[in-house]
Structure formats: C-alpha cells, structure tokens
Amino acid sequence: MLLFDHPEYDDHEQVCFHRDPGSGLTALLVIHRSVASRAGGGIRFYPYGSTAQALTDALRLSRAMTYKFALANFRMGGGKTVVIGDPAVDKTPALLHALGERVEGHAGRYICGPDVGTNSDDMVHIRERTRHVAGLPSGGGNTSAPTSQGVFNGLRAVIEHVFGHDDPSRLSFAVQGVGAVGGGLCDLLHEAGARLVIADVNQQAVSAVAERTGAVVVSPEEILSSDVDVLCPCALGGVLDHSTIPEIRAQAVCGGANNQLASTEDGERLLERGITFAPDYVVNAGGVIAGTVEIADLDSRELDRRLAGIYDTTRAVLERARRDARPTEAAAQAMAEEKLASSS
C-alpha cells in the first residue's frame, strides 16, 4: 500500500523513517501539520508487531496532537515519534542519542516529549543531542498528574451533560488501565466519593490502586462490559470497536487513552447506542499543556487555568454534537479545524 492510500493518511506534511543500526533505533517521525512553523508530540516506545502497525499509530497520533493543541489554544501543530521496540530491553542512552540527532535534523520544526514507553529522564539523554525537547525534569517533567486532572475535569463535564449533575459520588466508574494516568484518575474519583471498578494487566498496579481506593477488581476481559455509569479507558488505544461497543453497559465513555476509537465508524456506533463519548484528545490534553510549560512559558496559575478549561472545552464539544446530531468525534474535529483556520 502506498502511503497516500493509507486510510489514516490525512495530507500529513512529513513522514520520516529513521534507522540507526549501531544503536538499534528503528523509528518513524511524523508531522501532521505545523502551525507557526512548529509541531509537537511525544515519543512512543512500543513493541509494535510490524512497521505497518507503527505507521498507523503514528499517523493517527500525530493528527490527534494537531487537534489537541488547537482545542487547548496552543499555536502549535501535531507530530509524533514512534520507536519500534521494547523499552524495557531496547532503550539505551545510545539509542536515545541517535533519536535526538534525528529530531535535531528537523531544525526546530518538531519538538519532542515523553509518551508511552518514555519519561522525563529519557528526555535528558535526548536533550544531549537536540535543543528541541520538552518534558524535562526541570520543566514539564512528569505529565501524568496533569493528564489525570484534565481527564477528571472532562469527566465532570460529561456526567453533567449525561446525568444532569457533576457529582461523581452519585455514580460508578470502570477504569481500564491503572498506570500513572489511570491510577491518578482513580485517586481523584475516590477523593470525590465515586464507586470504582478497575482492571489492568499489571497485577501489582491493580492491587496498589484497589488497596488505596477500595475499588472492585475485575479481569481485563470484563472491564469494558462492567455494569457502571461511566467507562474510562486509560490503557492503549483502539479498544472501542465493532466487537466491544455492543457490550458496553455504561452511558458514557471518558478516559485518558489516546485513539480509543478503532475507526471513525465506531463514533457512529456509540452515537447509535446512545453512549456519550468524550474525544480523548479533548480530555487528555493536560499532559501536553504541562509538557509545553517550557515552550509556552506558563506559570502555575496559567497552567491551572488551562487545565480547568478542559471542562469548558469538553462541554462545548458535547453540546455541539447534541445540537448537530453527530458523533462527538466529528464535532471536536470541526471545532479544531475552525481554530486552525482562524490561526493561519
């Protein structure tokens, strides 16, 4: 298949394949769209089964980053780097240095940061080869907590839209994936008095969250069909598809995972079932907001204001989707494109 024929290709500005045999680096660096001559996006380090899978993920994630920045009111386009490999085995300073050299080769058009499989300490190694790095320990650092807070703010807008109130203590939530973001969301929901059902392939993480929140633990196979009010996918993407959507018993879906819809048609499927979906790039924008602290020179007050704004943006997306009788994903994309057009 030619790149131009790929179903996720959306006139992306640049798709680069990078190899460095010496360090073992195999990566794709993709820029969906640049705004003000720059694009930003994290580095995902993941053991993809094939280059084709990695390309699909990079194309989708970079596009979502464009919309995420637009709806968070940042003048920056979206990009993404995906590194093919197991970060627990393949990630070395030499590989990160090689990746930093590739980022530097884009001369500031692409700014990288941490994502799944990478962290702020990794950005220190990359910074030794390029200036175009965010999410350093001295800057945005660990973005999990602001991501969790942003999802929680979006959740409040969702439950107000669906249930007519924004009180989590009156509702139950199923959280799929209780790592840094999902676990943080569980803590916030527990503090708000919510009833929790959780699942994760990492039993140690599940046990820790259950102990401190009193959550009910179910298997990863059961979590999506749990009998709860709200489903919160916080693991990897593509979990909402033709086979899982018919099994969902929740009235709303709002979580921190990227690319939760396996395809555009799945947004239609949720709408047909009457399930309200909060687009992930709307509610999980807290990470990019915190991660661009160095770039945008945000102080703590402005950071808090922008995180709080996720509630308003989520509510606007849901209201527009209801007004236009269309999937929320389509409404969010339309809002993002309007913002991009007005900023160009």
Looking at per-residue pLDDT, the higher value among 135 and 309 belongs to: 309
Q: Is the pLDDT of residue 167 over 90?
A: yes
In angstroms, the CA 245 to CA 78 distance is 28
What is the reported pLDDT for 280? Answer: 95
Looking up residue 37, the CATH number of its domain turns out to be 3.40.50.10860
What is the reported pLDDT for 250? Answer: 98
- 264-290 pLDDT, tens digit each: 899 999 999 999 999 999 999 998 888
Does residue 327 contact residue 270 with C-beta atoms inside 8 Å?
Answer: yes
Q: Do 152 and 44 have their domain in common?
A: no
Q: Do 178 and 255 have their domain in common?
A: yes
Q: Do 20 and 153 have their domain in common?
A: no
Q: How many CB atoms lie within 10 A of CB 295?
A: 18
Q: Do 155 and 110 have their domain in common?
A: no
Looking up residue 225, the CATH number of its domain turns out to be 3.40.50.720
Q: How many structural domains comprise the chain?
A: 2
Is 69 part of any domain?
Answer: no
- 171-218 pLDDT, tens digit each: 999 999 999 999 999 999 999 999 999 999 999 999 999 999 999 999
Q: Is the pLDDT of residue 139 over 70?
A: no
Query: Residue range 119-145: average pLDDT?
Result: 87
Looking at per-residue pLDDT, the higher value among 137 and 123 belongs to: 123
Structural domain ending residue among the three candidates 127, 158, 184: 127
Residue 140: pLDDT band with limits 50, 70, 90: low
339 in catalytic set = no
pLDDT above 70 covers a percentage of the chain that reads: 97
- 297-343 pLDDT, tens digit each: 667 788 889 999 999 999 999 999 999 999 999 999 999 999 999 87
Radius of gyration from C-alpha coordinates of the chain: 19
Is 148 part of any domain?
Answer: yes
Q: Do 98 and 164 have their domain in common?
A: no
Mean pLDDT, all residues of the chain: 94
Query: Residue range 210-233: average pLDDT?
Result: 98
Q: Do 157 and 118 have their domain in common?
A: no
Q: Do 206 and 235 have their domain in common?
A: yes
Residue 296: pLDDT band with limits 50, 70, 90: low
Q: Do 297 and 175 have their domain in common?
A: yes
Among 68, 80, 91, 339, the one annotated catalytic? 80
Q: Do 90 and 167 have their domain in common?
A: no
Query: Residue range 68-77: average pLDDT?
Result: 92
Helix, strand or coil, per DSSP, at residue 43: strand
Burial class (CB in 10 A: 0-12, 13-18, 19+), 83: buried
Is 139 part of any domain?
Answer: no
